[in-house]
Amino acid sequence: MTGRRYDYGRDAMIGIGTPQANPTVEAEMRIILPPACALVVNRLTSASNDPMERLRDYIERLETSLEDFDTLRPDAYGFGCTGSSYLIDTDSEARIVERIQERLGYPVVTATAAIRWQFAKLGIERIALASPYPPALSEAASAYWSGAGFDLVEVRRIDTGSGDTRSIYALGSEDARPAAEAMSGLDVDAVLLSGTGMPSLALVGDAGSNGPAIFSSNLCLANRLCDLVGLPVPQISEWRERLAEAREPTKGNPAR
């Protein structure tokens, strides 16, 4: 991390890229990251009507998207879209990330790379996977994690009723709870809730001590970003209160 300090980023300046209609990444990052981390966000955009093409555009055009930051150089940058990594060759993605890091001079990590880092750190090998993806993307996600060497015990889809991945953004954490609870009795090291657009921190925080731990794309990405800038990985006890406050409407707010 650099020696500079901003008034609102005394610990670190964290950059995040989030799909254009995704309302969840910023909210969950702000909950997980320490308050003294500043959060700067750029939107990953695509004009395609094909959801799979949009996801590929987000990663393939990432270098251009980062020009939105102009001269701002965050201490680390997280690519907050898991689905993109399931649809692009891993070597191609690695080349994109390496090229950006060499050009801009700060570390870049994708959500999938952050999940792999988290699982390696904890020795996780047997996993169950749940996602709100349409069938084709769910199959790509399964192939990705199996190909990465994990023992994928079970896969579940959280049906949004639409093949458009933007329908994920209407979900709440309670929509994923039945799948998470069903997987809590499996003989696995962890349950992975894939998809940065689906709120899931309440499920992570509610996971019991007897079953497997629950991890989400946003949780792992936030943890890895903290690690990259030299901060301790936030514990659930550190952000649980912020989660409760974020989910509680302001008293007297007529809009809610």
The domain 114-219 is classified under which CATH number: 3.20.20.100, 2.60.40.3880, 3.40.50.1390, 3.40.50.1860?
A: 3.40.50.1860
Exposed/middle/buried for residue 167 (C-beta within 10 Å: 0-12, 13-18, 19+): middle
The residue with tokens 């090291």 is: 189
pLDDT single digits (tens) 44-58 = 999 999 999 999 999
Contact between residue 79 and residue 109 where contact means Cβ atoms under 8 Å apart: yes
Q: What is the pLDDT along the chain (256 residues), one digit of tens a residue?
A: 445 667 888 999 999 999 999 999 999 999 999 999 999 999 999 999 999 999 999 999 999 999 999 999 999 999 999 999 999 999 999 999 999 999 999 999 999 999 999 999 999 999 999 999 999 999 999 999 999 999 999 999 999 989 889 999 999 999 999 999 999 999 999 999 999 999 999 999 888 677 899 999 999 999 999 999 999 999 999 999 999 999 988 876 666 5
pLDDT single digits (tens) 102-112 = 999 999 999 99
For the 12-110+221-247 domain, the top CATH level (class) is alpha beta
Identical topology for domains 12-110+221-247 and 114-219: yes
The whole-number pLDDT of residue 7 equals: 86
**Can you give the pTM of this predicted structure?**
0.94
The whole-number pLDDT of residue 256 equals: 54
Domain ranges, ordered by start, for the chain:
12-110+221-247, 114-219
pLDDT single digits (tens) 130-169 = 999 999 999 999 999 999 999 999 999 999 989 889 999 9
The whole-number pLDDT of residue 252 equals: 67
